[in-house]
Chains A and B, each alone.
Chain A
């Protein structure tokens, strides 16, 4: 868990650690990873991963439009918007 690794995953998560908590959180992360490394020695040969405790398959829905126009409801909750769009700082591709 070196500084570079932490910086990379912080960026992937769009988080910035500031000078107050950077050191503490980095050492916390190290300790947590060391803690979960207990899983290393376990033999899991031929064991399928468990993604959900439910041993069943999905119920699907039929192809119908059920949503109404709720533009106003959504835009009024937006931190920044005009009457039609959510707004973010200009993105340059």
Chain B
């Protein structure tokens, strides 16, 4: 019985009924990964340790739904004694001496980490084309990008190699690849998941999250990933709810907000019609659509491209060839050590963002750029707060279009930045948001985004689950539609 394209829930059922063992699942996983090598979804595989664990936990009590389930981990999470590169040359030889809290949480729940997935370098990108380890292929098409920065995770799940993977989302890096790869991905409220051990890109925006085939699986992952962590003082102290409970709640009477300022006329007609279909479907489930205004939303992308580079320019200063990671050969003095190491170790997109970041923080520009952007950020957050007084969730397309060809956004970085038009606002405001597949455009999947109020992951999961109970977009695979 093939495990390809199975969900966590399906594998759990197979394991519980002893139809298969964890070891068999893990072995087949590696076979699938090997057969699909051309996807380049993984940077490092953990075969020996994974198989050993799958044998060891066979007789352990089942503590969670993830017990014995293979999960792929984005290479941005530190994994103890397992290489962690962040998709960068500067960490191509880095072996962390500790594991991220998220990794520990998942592994304590019994999951088997099968390997580290490919990603845009330091999470900067929307196509997985900036990785030092080469681009990732979208299983839906030969030359298609999977999206980014969690491109490897998205590709691995979309190709059915693993039922779920971890991703991270700073400006859309879980949701956008989920949309382009036809899977479900969720970014929780800022602070839900500990950032201890997550290599920092933009500290006030980064959040880890699950990427899986269904909203239900995302809820299962979320239950284990979330925790209050004393080692991360930006992690929430609020209790972690049980996200799988009440998933089936009816959405009768749900108020869904449509953002007035998201100009749909700029989108492809195919994309618009897919979105309109989804709206009709939600209406048939008893939801009501209400227009909401987020007057400052158009400033999201420029504000983001001040704040995120500023924070990253500082976060990446620790990569200096002194204590760990890549170091240039035979530097003649300290200056050369720094400059050569960093210039050799970082790719062009990372360099661009570091330079922008240093610029907007520099003397004379701080007020005009960084401070201003943080003030605009508050305006955007205030807009959301007002909107959520009128509606329960906000809906939009996740991306402007379906997966594009590698190299097609080539020379203009701003074109790439606009990929995150719909996803960035939720990061700025720290709100939970997710993407679920809702249609096809030119035989390529596309996604629907749901944004929830602060701490309201349960609501958006319910809304997503409702859709998935009554549609089959999430069952589609590059090889055809799964039998549910």
- Given the interface pairs A78-B323, A86-B322, the reply to whether A25 lies near B234 with Cβ below 8 Å is no
Q: CB distance A13 to B313 under 8 Å?
A: yes
Cβ contacts under 8 Å, A40 to chain B:
368, 372
Q: Is B175 an interface residue (CB 8 A)?
A: no
User: Are A32 and B413 closer than 8 Å at their CB atoms?
Assistant: yes
What 1/0 mask marks residues of chain B from 398 to 418 whose CB sits below 8 Å from any chain A CB?
Answer: 000000000000011110010
Interface: B296 (CB within 8 A)? yes
* In the bound complex, CA of A78 to CA of B94 (Å): 10
**A21 and B348 contact, CB distance less than 8 A:** yes
Question: Closest Cβ of chain B: how far from A7's Cβ, in Å?
Answer: 11
Beyond A13-B313, A42-B299, A79-B326, whether A25 also contacts B348 by CB under 8 A is: yes
Within the complex, what minimum Cβ distance (angstroms) separates A66 from chain B?
Answer: 11
Contact A12 B413 (CB under 8 A): no
Cβ contacts A24-36/B at 8 Å (1 or 0 each): 1100110111011
Using Cβ atoms and an 8 Å threshold, which residues of chain B touch A32? 305, 352, 356, 413-414
Structural contact, A9 and B375, CB atoms closer than 8 A: no
Chain B residue numbers with a CB within 8 Å of A36 are 302-303, 305-306, 360, 369, 373
A74 near B376 with CB under 8 A, answer: no
**Complex Cα distance A60/B190, Å?**
19
Chain A residues positioned under 8 Å from B299 (CB to CB): 38-39, 42
Interface positions, chain A 9-65, Cβ under 8 Å from B, are 9-10, 12-18, 21, 24-25, 28-29, 31-33, 35-40, 42, 44, 47-54, 58-61
Q: Scan residues 56-93 of chain A and give those whose CB is less than 8 A from a CB of chain B.
A: 58-61, 70, 73-74, 77-80, 86, 88-91
Asked if residues A17 and B322 are in contact (CB atoms below 8 Å), the reply is no
B376 touches A39 (CB 8 A): yes
Any A CB within 8 A of the CB of B354? yes
Count of residues in A whose CB is under 8 Å from the partner chain: 51
- Total number of A-B contacts with CB less than 8 angstroms? 163
Among A6, A14, A44, point to the contact of B379 (Cβ < 8 A). Answer: A44
A51 touches B339 (CB 8 A): no
Evaluate whether A15 and B414 lie within 8 angstroms (CB atoms) in the complex, with A28-B352, A49-B371, A59-B230 already known.
no
Q: How many angstroms from the CA of A17 to the CA of B335 in the assembled complex?
A: 15
- The one of B302, B348, B411 in contact with A35, judged by C-beta atoms closer than 8 angstroms, is B302
Please give the distance in Å from A37's CB to the nearest CB on chain B.
8
Listed residue (B94, B191, B334, B355) with the most chain A CB atoms within 10 angstroms of its CB: B355
B430 neighbours in A (Cβ, 8 Å): 52-54
Which residues of chain B (178-199) have a CB below 8 Å from chain A? 190-191
Contact check, B342 vs A15: say whether CB atoms are below 8 A apart: yes
Docked pose: A44 CA to B299 CA in angstroms: 12
Cβ-closest chain A residue relative to B332: A89
Is B67 close to A, CB under 8 A?
Answer: no
Q: How far is the CB of B454 from chain A (nearest CB, A)?
A: 8
Residue on B nearest A18 in the bound complex, by CB? B343
Please state if A17 and B190 are interface contacts (CB–CB under 8 Å): no
The residue in chain A whose Cβ has the minimal distance to the Cβ of B350 is A15
A79 and B322 contact, Cβ closer than 8 Å, known pairs A47-B375, A59-B237, A88-B337: yes
Distance of A42 Cα from B204 Cα, bound (Å) = 22
Known A32-B352, A33-B356, A78-B324; contact A53-B305, beta-carbon cutoff 8 A? no
Q: Which of B122-140 contact A (CB under 8 A)?
A: none
- In the complex, whether B327 has a CB less than 8 A from a CB of chain A is yes
- Complex Cα spacing A65 to B371, Å: 37
A50 and B323: CB pair below 8 A?
no
A47-B378, A52-B204 known; A77-B354 Cβ under 8 A: no
Residues of B with Cβ closer than 8 Å to A?
94-95, 97, 190-191, 204, 230, 233-234, 236-237, 296, 299, 301-303, 305-306, 313, 320-327, 331-340, 342-343, 346, 348, 351-352, 354-360, 362, 368-369, 371-379, 381, 411-414, 417, 428-431
**CB<8 Å pairs between A and B, sample of 26:** A9-B355, A10-B355, A13-B313, A13-B357, A13-B358, A14-B335, A18-B343, A25-B348, A29-B352, A29-B359, A32-B352, A32-B356, A35-B302, A36-B303, A36-B369, A39-B369, A39-B373, A48-B375, A48-B378, A53-B191, A54-B236, A70-B97, A78-B323, A86-B322, A89-B332, A89-B337
Other 18 A-B pairs with CB < 8 A, given A77-B94, A79-B322 = A9-B362, A13-B342, A15-B355, A17-B351, A24-B411, A28-B413, A31-B414, A36-B306, A38-B302, A39-B372, A44-B375, A44-B376, A49-B377, A49-B378, A58-B233, A70-B97, A77-B97, A79-B324
